[in-house]
Amino acid sequence: MPKVVREYKVQARARIIGAAVSAIQRKGLSGLTMDDIAREIGVSKGALYLYFSSKAQLLEAILSEYRDEMMAQLERAVEKGDVAEGIAGTIDKIFSGEFNPAVWHQVVVDAAADPEIQQALRDDSRKDVEELQAFLRRMEARGRIPHQDDPEVIADIISFLLGGTLLMVSTRRDPDEARRRLVRALRWTLRLPPDGAATAARAAHQSPRRPRAGRRVAGPSRARS
């Protein structure tokens, strides 16, 4: 495929996803049609179907793009500071009011009547947890967090905390207070110090060390007869 054609398709796909996100925020997912999206970007519905065959497939693309953006942002954030703050920062658009969490909750409600949408949300949730597990392992390997006995469970808990925070903000809880509570809960979950101080030394200290092969481990001295 010529480079120009490939770049055009990438740009066209991005335009469709952007138009769909805007339309979902205005009309919700259940009230949105492929015709609406086609009109929004000025193409025929037939042209739209060249990229996405259904609303469910389009939603999958939106969620995948958001996940990629979230993980890239998370990696950048933890390079500069605290891991818990970095995780909380992945939903800063919610705290700032740039994105209305009620839109996401409405998508979940709409999914009850659409098996394809339900499957898209299940797949997205599974992939989110898998990405979080991989992230936790990287952070542990770098000494940024203490050893986690079960990264899968911790990733589930983090996912629940993020989802619960969305609900808190959507029910008019003060966003700053919601963020503080989220960071505190993340630090407790990851066994990080409350003040967010550097954890490399603590992580190394908390990880049990095994004796090197061939080296005797000192035991209690025996009394000589």
Classify the phi-psi angles of 126: left when phi > 0, otherwise alpha if psi is within -120 to 50, otherwise beta.
alpha
Per-residue pLDDT tens digits of the chain, which is 225 residues long: 555 467 878 888 888 888 888 888 887 787 788 888 888 888 888 888 889 988 889 989 989 988 998 899 888 888 878 899 999 999 998 888 887 777 787 788 878 888 988 999 999 999 999 999 999 999 999 999 999 999 999 999 999 999 999 888 888 779 999 999 999 999 999 999 987 554 444 444 444 443 444 444 444 443 444
Q: How far is CA 12 from CA 2, 25, 124, 144, 188, in A?
A: 15, 20, 23, 39, 44
